[in-house]
Amino acid sequence: MDISAIIITFADMERINWIDWGKCVCMTMVVFVHLPQHGDSFVLRYCSSVVLASFFFISGYLKKPTSSVKSSLRKYWNTLLLPYLAYNLLFFPYWLVRRLMENPEPLSFATVLKPVAGVFLPQLNSPFSCELNGITWFLIALFLMHLIADLCQHIRHGNMLLLLLCLVTIVLYGANKYYHYAPNLTYNGFVRCLTFYAMGHLFRQRGLWTTGRPRRCLATALLALSLSIAVFYWHIHESHFVLHIALFYIVNILSVFGILGLCRTASPYRSGVVVLVSTGTMVIMGLHPMVIGCINFALEHLLAVCPIYYSTLESVGLALAIVAMLLPVILLCIRRYPLLLGKRNQRVLPIEAAR
């Protein structure tokens, strides 16, 4: 099947083209920031700082109301928690082989049990547990955010409560950065990103970003992105801690308007590849650490360089290549394993090639 000639739709979801572009761009950025790179370049630091904001904004924007908290739990068990377990199960053989190669000492039962315990203690690093497929923290964090949004939906002044929770998590994020009281990936990601999830959720409720003039969107996006980069430069050199944290959120909010604003200008242009990447975001997120690890191992032995690092341009090219490598896996999941897409059912509709 020609990838450029398909659009994948699901029975429970209507496609929003700028969302597809946004997920495609952000997913490529995630792969980019996880590649080992020379030094700590400004581009790498900026992308690492802002990519999650747009991702969680999109998740909040796509959030649909549910009839009850019970139905929410059933839905998110199927679409988030089961994939979380599946991607950690797929990751375990890779972890085991890598552990044996890096440490020739025999594995003890306690050593093998630690990553298993870490799966059930949302990727917690502790004396008795450790992260396995650490990137899957986002599924647990998203599960909690969806539940909070559903709870707020069914109570009076729910939106005000959600905004209050965002303020609390901003304080908790700043406190954790200062005191390092909770190094857990899931906790850090949750308190860092709830604000952007709520922002997307409230945008959708208010009917924002459903329409827009392309030229105005482009001008606004370029201005927001430029301001975001400028404020980020201030943020990384700001020594006053409270202002440093405040600037972090300003940078990320501006980046949402910049990155997703640019994607909105691309909305008239439909691409089967973009939709495929958007549909398979969970697949790429869950599998790309293993792909990166295998590529690094192969290049280290081929080039006799250990450890290997890439330049910024090399990392961009490699990120695009890794996303392309996973497209056949996404197609396979669409046809046979929708669970790995966070879906319970799907249909593939061939259409005329996107122009």
Q: What is the mean pLDDT of the chain?
A: 89
SS3 349: strand
- Give the pLDDT of residue 5: 44
> What is the per-residue pLDDT for 185?
87
Whether 355 has a pLDDT exceeding 90, the answer reads no
Per-residue pLDDT, 213? 81
- Give the span between the Cα atoms of 83 and 202, in whole angstroms: 27
pLDDT, position 7: 45
The strand pair at 6-9 and 347-350 is best described as: antiparallel
What pLDDT is attached to residue 13? 47
Q: What percent of the chain has pLDDT over 70?
A: 93
Query: Worst-scoring range by mean pLDDT, 149-163, 185-199, 250-264?
Result: 149-163
Q: Quick count: other Cβ atoms within 10 Å of Cβ 221?
A: 19
Task: Name the β-bridge partners of 40.
Answer: none
> Is the pLDDT reported for residue 354 higher than 80?
no
The whole-angstrom separation of Cα 350 and Cα 30 is 29
Report pLDDT digits (tens) over 57-106.
999 999 988 877 788 888 899 999 999 999 999 999 999 999 988 887 88
Asked if pLDDT for residue 40 goes beyond 80, the answer is yes
pLDDT digits (tens, 9 = 90+) for 208-248: 998 778 888 899 999 999 999 999 999 999 999 999 999 99
Burial class (CB in 10 A: 0-12, 13-18, 19+), 211: exposed
d(Cα 143, Cα 121) in Å, to the nearest integer? 14
pLDDT number for residue 181: 85
Describe the crossing of helices 272-279 and 327-336 by its angle, rounded to 10 degrees: 70
| CA–CA distance, 166 with 252 (Å, rounded to integer) | 14
For 280-323, how does the pLDDT look when each residue is reduced to its tens digit (9 = 90+)?
999 999 999 999 999 999 999 999 888 999 999 999 999 999 99
Q: Considering the entire predicted model, what is its pTM? A: 0.91
Residue 45 tokens read as 């630091």
Q: What is the pLDDT averaged over residues 110-117?
A: 92
User: What is the model's pLDDT at position 345?
Assistant: 62
pLDDT, tens digit, 9 for 90 and up, residues 124-167: 988 899 999 999 999 999 999 999 999 998 888 888 999 999 99
The pLDDT value recorded for residue 263 is 94
What is the predicted pLDDT for the residue at 9? 45
Tokens of 140: 């647990």
**d(C-alpha 56, C-alpha 131), whole Å:** 22
Q: Is the pLDDT of residue 349 over 80?
A: no
